[in-house]
Amino acid sequence: MRRHLGADTLPSSPSASRQLTRLFFRHLARHYADGKPLAHLAASLSITPTHLTRVCKVETGRTAASLMTDRILHAARLLLASTDVPAKDIARHLGFGSQAYFTRFIQNHTGQTPSNLRRATA
């Protein structure tokens, strides 16, 4: 029946999972540096972390946690490369509870300390 009405030529609306993923990206862009866990972001979208992860995996091929990690890591790299702000202040700005945790985060994801990463991009 849709074909007879010409509805197949109309643009389809994004799926619910695509809409939810887009909403997650908007929330992530605003709140990645809050220092809150993924569960908090999921709750702000009125869904569970498991559902958020499932939806992101379907839409992007990546988990919500990995997308959040990449956003934080991108901001950290940018701040380390483009400013002289001490790593402890960058850590605080990005929501880390301590410089030590920030350093471990950077080392785990880049294989370098924040200071080595800064020198490598200078």
Give the predicted TM-score (pTM) of the model. Answer: 0.84
Q: Which domain holds residue 39?
A: 15-121
Query: In this predicted structure, what is the pLDDT of residue 1?
Result: 44
For residue 19, give the CATH number of its domain: 1.10.10.60
Query: In this predicted structure, what is the pLDDT of residue 122?
Result: 72
Q: Residue 1 domain-assigned?
A: no
Domain count, the chain: 1
pLDDT along the chain (122 residues), means of 10: 49 80 96 95 96 96 97 97 96 96 97 94 78
What gap in Å lies between CA 20 and CA 14, rounded to an integer? 10
Query: In this predicted structure, what is the pLDDT of residue 10?
Result: 47
Half-sphere exposure of 52 (CA within 13 A, CB side): 24
Q: What's the N-to-C CA distance of the chain in angstroms?
A: 62
- Using alpha carbons, select from 43, 14, 27 the residue that is nearest to residue 51: 43
Query: In this predicted structure, what is the pLDDT of residue 8?
Result: 52
Query: In this predicted structure, what is the pLDDT of residue 14?
Result: 77
Q: Residue 26 domain-assigned?
A: yes
